[in-house]
Structure 1
């Protein structure tokens, strides 16, 4: 068997293994592989947050690097700092239950709503955002908080908090 046939055979086997392990059709796995290859433009075998941001920007989507880092971190089972093909397919096929998301958002809001009055102090949220992303400039943090507090009241209610997190 020549090298081309060996590579095609290995690719077919890999597609079949991925399809069987995730109960996906071979065609669906090939679609995911094509998307993965688009992001993995240097053929490294993994996708890092910068790759995701680059592809999102090319598609005229706004995707901050810290969002890409969260996305990668949520699926990076081997803690390599990037997503391999299996991890990428896993994240692409994960279904989010709306009730679970709603409860998670409520719990997150409660963490910041220290006095339980239904609002979050914008300055406290800004301090947290700056601690979470130490490379964020003061201006970038202010822009984020202005998005979360569109009325510039200094307090962020639950509805604005959810819209901010979900970029509605």
Structure 2
């Protein structure tokens, strides 16, 4: 990027009108995450984008689930979330009970057969899809941290440790 305060599409960090102060590096991290969902560089993420990311990750969302995810985040009711709304979501404090529910819901997405474990290879595939710059060795290292006993299956507690410490 030519200017560390400039985001893709020419949006400047100071033009985001954020309620909190963020470093240029943090804004770039959010931009990278946003760009994964905004694969067509439209400047916003709609329900279809979330469905495509989920499908690429071999996840199934129930009908209207993507729209529900966007619902409260779409402050201007445009039908999608823009970068400012995305950063607002990412910087809104979450209470502990909500976090626990979200983590359990995330685990259930990966626990396709409902047996209380996730296949380590499936998680690795998703991690590589999410972070396309991640090397095979880096992905293997991450998964070995999530699966310390090298069983090929990751239980809920190991999954939480993986999410909170990566």
Bin for the TM-score computed over the shorter chain: 0.3 to 0.5
TM-score normalised by the chain length of structure 1: 0.47
Q: Which has the higher contact order (CA 8 A, sep 6+)?
A: 2
Higher helix share: 1
Rg comparison, structure with higher value: 1
